[in-house]
């Protein structure tokens, strides 16, 4: 349905992504202010999609039909301290949520690089942080409520719907519009962070990178495909570890002051790197909530490969450096634990994540990506759903052993394909 009236619509265009590289479509963009308005809107729509905080670099949220944002919906953060859970509106941003949790002595076990993103959008697309023991943000979801194609509000939980729940949360918006989520929490904890410079080239092997990635609660390595890592961001649990962070880490030297991962960007945007303890939510992200988290126009790509082959995968991509470097802003290597979510790029395997932040030169980036993907092909790469890639849809589908189960679940919940878009249909099948 196009051009709806009432509180759910204002007829505006959805606009561009944060980086200015994705046009989400002609709209209209609807801003329902109540659950009833959202249900009525979806129930009378032929086709609609949910739009989050516009941080995706792929077309996962784009549509040539109606789009809905939950930013005007009542958010709600309902914390259960006894059971260490929280029920939260899908449009609530992590930066808002973690502050409320801290006040109640609770925390999330992991966060993405940015606290600005919404809980619903991050969960739907497989957003993750870094750490050998940390799973994707969607793995913390224990229950959801969503509006289905007929405008019904339905709930699913890990316990009551065990056979299908792993296909419900990280679903690319294809099953309905998620309105609320319930998350598992942990006791509040403190962390500290330091950045180390110039990781020695000998550490770029499977064994060396594996040891570095395993050396703290969360580790991120930023590099420029020159045979070493320029920066290693080490995020360490502070409780019970009184000794200061050392001057060297796996042969890298501690930075004399704060740095930004991207060249020529001010470190003011970044989280504290002093090594002093602070709330975990102030250390786990790379960027601070009060600043715009973009270096400007950029494009991002990311591929998940088996954790044990990270060095080999990096070496393989290094063969393409002459093509990569002129387009690159910075690359990052992270790790994430295996999970059981059907569409998770970390499904069934501990993963290393090889990330690229490209200059905003889309045609040239798309021209070089097949070379990067060919280099990674021996390692069965799984691309991040919210970032740019050119892998053939058949190659992507082959990486997901539960895809048929997801397709059956989609047939059950959205037989009319109200929540379809070209991106989802092209990758997962219509």
pLDDT in tens, the chain (430 residues): 333 333 334 557 888 888 888 898 898 999 999 999 999 999 999 999 999 888 899 999 999 999 999 989 888 999 999 999 999 999 999 999 999 999 999 999 999 988 889 999 999 999 999 999 999 999 999 999 999 999 999 999 999 999 999 999 999 999 999 999 999 999 999 999 999 999 999 999 999 999 999 999 999 999 999 999 999 999 999 987 778 999 999 999 999 999 999 988 899 999 999 999 999 999 999 999 877 655 568 999 999 999 999 999 999 999 999 999 999 999 999 999 999 999 999 999 999 999 999 999 999 999 999 999 999 999 999 999 999 999 999 999 999 999 999 999 999 999 999 999 999 999 998 7
Q: What pLDDT shows up at residue 373? A: 98
Q: Which residues on adjacent β-strands are paired with residue 88?
A: 77, 181
Q: Which residues on adjacent β-strands are paired with residue 154?
A: 146
| DSSP run (H or E) holding 310 | helix 310-318
125: nearest Cα among 341, 419, 360, 295: 341
Which two tokens mark 2?
């196009």
Q: What pLDDT shows up at residue 112? A: 92
Query: Which phi and psi (to 5°) does residue 267 adopt?
Result: -70, -10
- DSSP 3-state assignment of 258? coil
| DSSP run (H or E) holding 103 | helix 94-103
Residue 15 burial by CB count (10 A; 0-12/13-18/19+): exposed, middle or buried? middle
CA 300 → CA 83, 149, 365, 392, distances in Å?
38, 32, 10, 18
- Is the separation of the CB atoms in 183 and 135 below 8 Å? no
Residues contacting residue 125 through CB under 8 Å, at least 6 positions apart:
56, 60, 170, 172, 384, 385, 386
CA 394 → CA 374, 397, 411, distances in Å?
15, 5, 20
Question: pTM above 0.75?
Answer: yes
Q: How far apart are CA 172 and CA 132, in angstroms?
A: 25
Q: What pLDDT shows up at residue 6? A: 32
Which two tokens mark 382?
């799984």
């Amino acid at each position: 349905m196009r051009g709806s009236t009432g509180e759910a619509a204002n007829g505006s265009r959805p606009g561009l992504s944060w980086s200015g590289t994705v046009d989400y479509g002609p709209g209209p963009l609807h801003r329902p202010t109540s659950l009833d308005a959202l249900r009525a809107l979806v129930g009378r729509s032929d086709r609609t999609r949910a739009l989050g905080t516009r941080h995706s670099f792929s077309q996962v949220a784009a549509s040539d039909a109606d789009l809905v944002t939950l930013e005007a919906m009542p958010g709600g953060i309902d914390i259960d301290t006894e059971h260490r859970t929280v029920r939260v509106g899908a449009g609530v941003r992590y930066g808002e949520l973690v502050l409320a949790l801290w006040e109640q002595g609770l925390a999330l076990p992991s966060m993405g690089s940015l606290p600005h993103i919404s809980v619903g959008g991050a969960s739907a697309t497989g957003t993750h942080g870094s750490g050998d023991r940390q799973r994707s943000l969607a793995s913390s979801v224990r229950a959801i409520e969503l509006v289905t194609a007929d405008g019904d509000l339905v709930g699913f939980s890990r316990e009551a719907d065990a056979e299908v729940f792993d296909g419900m949360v990280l679903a690319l918006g294809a099953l309905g519009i998620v309105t609320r989520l319930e998350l598992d929490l942990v006791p509040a904890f403190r962390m500290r962070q330091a950045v180390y410079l110039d990781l020695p080239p000998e550490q770029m092997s499977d064994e060396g990178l594996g040891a570095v990635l395993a050396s703290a609660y969360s580790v991120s390595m930023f590099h420029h495909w020159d045979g070493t890592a320029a920066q290693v961001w080490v995020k360490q649990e502070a409780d019970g570890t009184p000794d200061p962070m050392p001057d060297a880490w796996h042969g890298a030297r501690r930075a004399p002051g704060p740095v930004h991962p991207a060249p020529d960007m001010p470190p003011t945007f970044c989280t504290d790197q002093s090594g002093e303890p602070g709330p975990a939510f102030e250390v786990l992200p790379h960027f601070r909530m009060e600043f715009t988290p973009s270096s400007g126009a950029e494009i991002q790509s990311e591929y998940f490969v088996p954790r044990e082959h990270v060095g080999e995968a990096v070496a393989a991509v290094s063969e393409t450096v002459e093509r990569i470097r002129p387009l690159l802003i910075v690359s990052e290597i992270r790790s994430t634990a295996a999970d059981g979510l059907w569409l998770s790029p970390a499904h069934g395997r501990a993963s290393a994540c090889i990330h690229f932040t490209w200059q905003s030169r889309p045609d040239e980036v798309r021209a070089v990506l097949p070379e990067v993907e060919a280099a990674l092909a021996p390692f069965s790469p799984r691309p991040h759903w919210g970032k740019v890639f050119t892998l053939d849809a058949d190659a992507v589908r082959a990486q997901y052993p539960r895809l048929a189960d997801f397709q059956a679940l989609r047939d059950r919940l959205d037989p009319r394909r109200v929540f379809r878009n070209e991106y989802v249909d092209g990758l997962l099948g219509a």
